[in-house]
Structure formats: C-alpha cells, structure tokens
Amino acid sequence: MKKAILLPVLLAMSCTLLSASSPSKADRLPDKGDFPILAWIGVRGNFNTLQAHKDLRAAGFTAELPGSIDARPGSEQFFLALKNCRKAGLKMLMELDPDDPKSTVRKARKSPALLGYFITDEPSAVSFGEIADIISQVRTVDDKHICYVNMLPDCGKERLGGYDFPGYIAKSIEMLDTRVVSYDFYPVRQGDAVEQPMYYYLDVVSHLSRDAGLPFWAFALLVEHLAYPVPTLEALRIQVYADLAFGAQCIEYFTYSRPVHDGYYLAPVDEFGNKTYLYDIVTQMNSEIRGLSCVFKGSSGHEVRHFGSAVADGLPLLDELPSGFARLESHGSHGLLSEFTNDGKKFYMIQNCDLKEDLDVDLGFSSPMKRVFKDGSLEDATSYLPHYRITPGDILVFMAE
C-alpha cells in the first residue's frame, strides 16, 4: 500500500475524532435504540441493590451476567437480581439450578428482564454432548430465549477437544441450540502490543455464524489481571470496533465488577462496590457504541481487509479499492477497512489498529459519500479535506449515497 506524505498544516485542519458533531449537521440516520452490551460479573451478589443495577445501566450496559452471588444458582438471590434488572431497564442471563434446571426455567421464562440462560463458559468439544442435553431440557420448557455458551479461542486441538479452531466453532454450532455464537479472546497484553490472531478469530466466527444464520457476540477486556494491563479507552476501542467491523451484534465485557479471585485488580467497580475511573472510561466507550447503533445494529455482509506497514502475514490485504473510493493512501502501521450493509445502505469503516501511533489516511471518492459521526449525524464527505488522522483504536465511518 502506498504511503501518503501528509502536510502537517493539512493534518492540523483535518478532523481527528468522529465524536465531534455540530448543530449544522441536519441529516441523521434513523435511531435504532440501544446496541446490546453485556457485562460479565455485573452486580455482585453482596451488592445486589436496585441502585447498583441502575449504575450499571447508566454506564450504557443493556444486560448483565451477575457475579459472585454466594448462593446456589436458581435460588432467590438470582431472582432478586432479575427483579432489580427489570426495574433498572436491564436484561439478565440467568444461571440454572444444576440439579433441576427446568425449575429455574419455569420460574424465570416469563420475566421481561430475562435475556436467556447461562449454560457454561469455555467448554471443550468433548463436553458438547452433555451441554446439548442441558439445552434440550431447557428447550422443553422455553424455546424462546437463548442458551448462552461462551466458546474458547484457539488454545490448541487438545484443549478444544480434537478440533482446530474453525472445526471447534462449527461443531458447537452443529450440536448446541444456543441461538447465538459467543467466544472470547483478549488481544491487548503487557507491552502494548495487539495480538493480531484476533482478526483471524473474528473472521472465522463471523463467517461461520453468518453461514448458520446466527448472530455472533464478541468481547473486550475490562479488568486488569495476570498479563493484561489496566484497560484504556484506546485498548477498548481496538477491541470493540474490531468486533463491530466483523459484524458482532453484542459487545461483551469481562468484567464490570472485580472478581474476588487472586490475580484480578482494577475493574470499573471494585471489591467493595465502589466505582473506579474505569467506570467513566467504559461509559464513554458505551456511549460511542450507542451513538453508532444506527450503523452497526442489524448490519450484515461484513468483509474486512487490512493495510499498512505492519500487517501480520495471512490477513487479507486491501489490494484493490472498494466501490466508491478513488484513493486510499495511508501512513501508519496497521489499519483495516470493513465494508457492510444495513437497511439497504452501504457503509465503510476504517479503523486504526495500532494501540500507540496515529494512522494518517488520504481519501478520495468516485461517488457521493456521507461521513457518519458518532451521534449518527451525517455530512457530505466533500465538506472535509481529504486528509484524516485517526487516533489509536478509533474509526472513520462513511456511507454511500
């Protein structure tokens, strides 16, 4: 990819962030409401108050998997959390009584706050038969809600149960009637490098779920632990916008409240129920997701290609311009371009995939384009100089007219 040499004075005049908006932008995409955002270890059991759930909702979350409830799954403490979720405007994943899962389903299924049933996390394919039996029991009572199983990333064939990663995900889709495909991988580790297998995993899950007619959900890491640093807004953007570039229809965060286990440190809510500064950071990230729900909610047909000076081997390269583009020249280590549709409209998202350095792009268009801002407002792309500077993790979005 040719690198553009961009004049500093032009760069200074260019708009650097999508979040800027002005009253002059009269055009706006139709509002699609909240984009699904799930908090793992949402409100912990010992802080299971209505206000705590309202705080989670105020941070932009739409659903939660409550955490560290010191009670048997399916007990009254879980139903109190479900009641508080309803009052706070949240959905909830309900854990099942391990000895009598149907009893939990019968009691929970009619709640308007029920998102679905938490079955298990990161299973080997060896256990798919057992998991399918549990889901089958649930389906005899409730055929409406999801049965949530979160899958592993590529941990090797032995851990995955004898399959490579695509085979493992395909087998889970074949055997498990979950209604969604969810998996986790956390690409930002100590040293500030972004592990580029993330894009391979996203591509595999995106295409397999699309072929099966299922939505897929993907994660961003929100807690400091082990080899994973304190999350930053840039790190969240790297993960969240990559998930959206491949078509994820729910963003999941691990975790909202700090886990009680050793080795976990800073999270948006600490072990005493107090908010930390990460609460403000994830609130900002979720506000951006909500503002762009009109672009990403219900999107389909995502195709992603990469460009820049440091793209990992094996990732599909942007070797020809997409329709509507006359020029895309870059100066930076790694960017991606995602093409997709939503409600019959064609969208293009460009992301800076570098965690530390800006990405400069020089764009030209061969057909009319609108720039889409983070509040869903629109403006003619020709209103801007063709030179853009995208800060780490951030994005530009355009819509073909």
pLDDT of residue 54: 98
- Please report which confidence band the pLDDT of residue 19 belongs to, taking 50, 70 and 90 as the band edges: very low
What are phi and psi for residue 173, nearest 5 degrees? Answer: -65, -40
Percent of the chain with pLDDT over 90: 88
pLDDT of residue 286: 98
Does residue 58 share a domain with residue 12?
no
Q: Is 103 among the domain residues?
A: yes
CA 353/CA 308 separation, integer angstroms = 10
Query: Which helix H or strand E contains 198, and what residues bound it?
Result: helix 197-212
Whether the pLDDT of residue 13 is over 70: the answer is no
- Please report which confidence band the pLDDT of residue 216 belongs to, taking 50, 70 and 90 as the band edges: very high
Tens of pLDDT, residues 124-142: 999 999 999 999 999 999 9
Does residue 311 share a domain with residue 241?
no
Query: Which helix H or strand E contains 116, and what residues bound it?
Result: strand 114-121
Eight-class DSSP state of 392: T
Whether the pLDDT of residue 106 is over 60: the answer is yes
pLDDT of residue 70: 66
CA 168/CA 208 separation, integer angstroms = 11
Does residue 201 share a domain with residue 146?
yes
Does residue 324 share a domain with residue 277?
no
Count of structural domains within the chain: 2
Using CA atoms, how far residue 257 sits from 85, 95, 107, 250, 367, in Å, is: 16, 17, 27, 19, 47
Tens of pLDDT, residues 275-296: 999 999 999 999 999 999 999 9
What are phi and psi for residue 76, nearest 5 degrees? Answer: -65, -30
Whether the pLDDT of residue 344 is over 60: the answer is yes
- Please report which confidence band the pLDDT of residue 68 belongs to, taking 50, 70 and 90 as the band edges: low
Using CA atoms, how far residue 212 sits from 82, 96, 149, 182, 246, in Å, is: 31, 27, 16, 13, 15
**Domain end call among 257, 291, 325:** 291
Residue 156 contacts residue 197 (beta carbons within 8 Å): no
Structural domain containing residue 62: 37-291
Residue 235 contacts residue 355 (beta carbons within 8 Å): yes
**Domain end call among 291, 325, 340:** 291
Q: Is 175 among the domain residues?
A: yes
Does residue 285 share a domain with residue 206?
yes
- Please report which confidence band the pLDDT of residue 155 belongs to, taking 50, 70 and 90 as the band edges: very high
Does residue 235 share a domain with residue 93?
yes
Pairing of strands 250-254, 216-221: parallel
Eight-class DSSP state of 228: B
Whether the pLDDT of residue 186 is over 50: the answer is yes
Whether the pLDDT of residue 4 is over 70: the answer is no
Does residue 242 share a domain with residue 98?
yes
**What is the overall mean pLDDT for the chain?**
93
CA 23/CA 386 separation, integer angstroms = 22
Does residue 267 share a domain with residue 176?
yes
Q: What's the whole-number mean pLDDT along residues 59-64?
A: 98
Does residue 329 share a domain with residue 207?
no
* Secondary structure (H, E, C), 55-105: HHHHCCCCEEEEECCCCCCCCHHHHHHHHHHHHHCCEEEEECCCCCHHHHH
Does residue 233 share a domain with residue 286?
yes
Eight-class DSSP state of 377: B
pLDDT of residue 25: 45
Q: How many CB atoms lie within 10 A of CB 179?
A: 15
Close Cβ partners of 49 (under 8 Å, ≥ 6 residues apart): 43, 84
Tens of pLDDT, residues 373-400: 999 999 999 999 999 999 999 999 999 9
* Secondary structure (H, E, C), 266-334: CCCECCCCCECHHHHHHHHHHHHHHHCHHHHCCCEEEEEEEECCCCCCCCCECCCCCCCEEEEEEECCC
Q: What's the whole-number mean pLDDT along residues 364-368?
A: 97
Say which range, 59-73, 180-194, 243-257, 332-346, has the weakest mean pLDDT. Answer: 59-73
Bridge partners (DSSP) listed for residue 350: 337, 396
Closest to 254 (Cα-Cα) out of 207, 173, 188: 188
Q: What's the whole-number mean pLDDT along residues 15-40?
A: 72
Tens of pLDDT, residues 228-263: 999 999 999 999 999 999 999 999 999 999 998 899
Q: Is 2 among the domain residues?
A: no
Q: Is 353 among the domain residues?
A: yes
The CATH code of the domain that includes 101 is 3.20.20.80
Q: Is 257 among the domain residues?
A: yes
Q: Is 3 among the domain residues?
A: no
Residue, of 83 and 18, whose pLDDT is higher? 83
pLDDT of residue 71: 72
Does residue 83 share a domain with residue 16?
no
**Domain end call among 250, 268, 291:** 291
Whether the pLDDT of residue 24 is over 50: the answer is no
Q: Is 78 among the domain residues?
A: yes
Closest to 149 (Cα-Cα) out of 126, 121, 168: 121
Does residue 378 share a domain with residue 359?
yes
Residue 179 contacts residue 147 (beta carbons within 8 Å): yes
Q: Is 1 among the domain residues?
A: no
